[in-house]
């Protein structure tokens, strides 16, 4: 049997204006538009061999069970009908599934490595459409820097993909990642999202105001207005969590240290250091700031957190 291998690397992105809710679960189409920053330093590196003895998925040097691998191989089924068995070897240089956006880097790297190994010539936009079907946030990691994910209107989802809005060197900002826990989350973002949309009374308000959030944030990015962007990011974050808190049963990813970091950010801001927070489906806090302030912010949160990282705007998904 002939086989071909390709390796791609991708970085996580952090949503400044959040994606939460789906209008189509099968095609994984979002109920809201979103906006993100692709980050440096953390990455997933994935090699796909198209044509092997059997489907095999290794993550961080550990062979995964059939249940753990199912999502990966169902994703590869999207590439071509009757694909051959494939080997997928993937490595994260950061904690998996702990709210550090590992599914974004995972599915964008997998989409690129698999399509090249399968000899499909896909544009970056087509790769984003593909990656979206593995995990929504992955559609944004294909590009460097500042990226919008348009909801799209088409039923087949071909117009729901990332769009680059500014390159990584557009603006010298940093994301300080405050790691409160690198444990796996109690409920996956996918399950929590579906529960929210079926039971939270806040869900309609969330959907109805998302486009305004994106428009304001996009303008702030173009104008390099950190305060405007930071305020809108916090607003989007708190609206997203209000839909989670009010779902039945309630979903609460936050830990006491999460709020302690939020308070520290507010105190830094009151002391004249411009910085704003966001969180995802986990207890960790990400703090957006100017590059020159990142170290001081990191020192202020150090006593509260398990670990912290200072990440800068990063590259899009690329072949190695
Ligand atoms: C809170 O992209 O992990 O991080 O599409 O179901 O795989 P699925 O969800 P996923 O959700 C990310 C949600 C978020 C916000 C965001 O990244 O926009």
- According to the model, what pLDDT value does residue 99 have? 62
4-168 and 173-311 agree in CATH topology: no
Residue 68 CA, ligand 1 centroid: distance in Å: 18
H/E element, 223: helix 203-223
Ligand 1 atom with minimal separation from the 240 CA: 1
Test site for ligand 1: of 136, 148, 210, 278, most ligand atoms within 8 A of the Cβ:
136
Domain assignments of the chain as residue spans, ordered by start: 4-168, 173-311
Question: Hey, what CATH topology would domain 173-311 get?
Answer: Alpha-Beta Plaits (3.30.70)
pLDDT tens digits for 237-264?
Answer: 999 999 999 999 999 999 999 999 999 9
Calculate the CA 7 to chain-centre distance. 20
Residue 6 makes CB contacts below 8 A (sequence gap 6+) with 47, 48, 50, 112, 113, 114, 116, 117, 319
Q: And the tokens for 187?
A: 């409920």
Predicted confidence band of residue 4 (pLDDT cuts 50, 70, 90) = very high
Pocket of ligand 1 (CB under 6 A): 15, 18-20, 28, 34, 103, 135-137, 189-190, 193, 280-281
Please report, rounded to a whole number, the percentage of residues in the chain having pLDDT higher than 70: 98
Task: Evaluate the omega torsion of the peptide bond into residue 222 and state whether it is cis, within 30 degrees of 0.
Answer: no
Residue 243 makes CB contacts below 8 A (sequence gap 6+) with 20, 21, 196, 200, 202, 203, 206
Domain range 4-168, CATH architecture: 2-Layer Sandwich (3.30)
- Strands annotated E in the chain: 4-10, 13-17, 22-24, 29-30, 34-38, 44-50, 56-59, 62-63, 86-92, 146-149, 162-166, 173-179, 275-279, 285-290, 307-311, 318-319
Residue of minimum CA distance from atom 4 in ligand 1: 280
Residue 262 CA, ligand 1 centroid: distance in Å: 21
Predicted confidence band of residue 2 (pLDDT cuts 50, 70, 90) = confident
Ligand 1 atom with minimal separation from the 101 CA: 4
Q: Cα–Cα distance between 172 and 226 in angstroms, integer?
A: 11
**Pairing status of strand 13-17 against strand 22-24:** unpaired
- According to the model, what pLDDT value does residue 24 have? 97
Average pLDDT over residues 133-156: 97
Q: And the tokens for 1?
A: 């049997």
- According to the model, what pLDDT value does residue 182 have? 76
pLDDT tens digits for 172-191?
Answer: 999 999 999 877 778 999 99
Test site for ligand 1: of 141, 189, 240, 252, most ligand atoms within 8 A of the Cβ:
189
Lowest-confidence segment of 182-186, 191-195, 288-292 by average pLDDT: 182-186
- According to the model, what pLDDT value does residue 288 have? 99
**Pairing status of strand 173-179 against strand 275-279:** unpaired
Q: Cα–Cα distance between 100 and 199 in angstroms, integer?
A: 26
């Amino acid at each position: 049997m002939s086989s071909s291998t390709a390796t791609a690397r991708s970085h996580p992105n952090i949503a400044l204006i959040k994606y939460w809710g789906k209008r189509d679960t099968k095609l994984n189409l979002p109920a809201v538009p979103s906006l993100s920053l692709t980050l440096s330093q953390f990455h997933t590196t994935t090699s796909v061999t198209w044509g092997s003895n059997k489907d095999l998925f290794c993550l961080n040097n550990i062979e995964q069970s059939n249940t753990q691998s199912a999502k990966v191989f169902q994703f590869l089924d999207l590439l071509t009908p009757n694909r051959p068995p494939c080997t997928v070897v993937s490595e994260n240089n950061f904690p998996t599934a702990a709210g550090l956006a590992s599914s974004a880097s995972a599915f964008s790297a997998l989409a690129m490595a698999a399509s090249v190994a399968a000899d499909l010539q896909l544009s970056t936009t087509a790769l984003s459409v593909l990656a979206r079907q593995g995990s929504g946030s992955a559609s944004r990691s294909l590009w460097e820097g500042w990226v919008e994910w348009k909801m799209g209107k088409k039923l087949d989802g071909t117009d729901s993909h990332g769009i680059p809005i500014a390159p990584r060197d557009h603006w010298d900002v940093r994301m300080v990642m405050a790691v409160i826990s690198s444990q796996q989350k109690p409920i996956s973002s996918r399950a929590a999202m579906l529960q929210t949309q079926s039971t939270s009374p806040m869900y309609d308000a969330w959907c109805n105001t998302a486009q305004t959030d994106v428009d304001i944030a996009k303008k702030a990015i173009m104008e390099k207005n950190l305060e405007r962007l930071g305020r809108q990011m916090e607003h989007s974050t708190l609206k997203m969590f209000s839909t989670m808190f009010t779902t039945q049963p309630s979903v609460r990813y936050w830990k006491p240290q999460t709020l302690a970091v939020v308070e520290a950010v507010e105190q830094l801001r009151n002391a004249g250091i411009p910085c704003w927070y966001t969180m995802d489906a986990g207890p960790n806090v990400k703090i957006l700031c100017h590059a020159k302030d990142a170290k001081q912010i990191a020192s202020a949160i150090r006593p509260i957190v398990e670990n912290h990282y200072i990440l800068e705007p990063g590259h899009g998904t690329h072949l190695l």
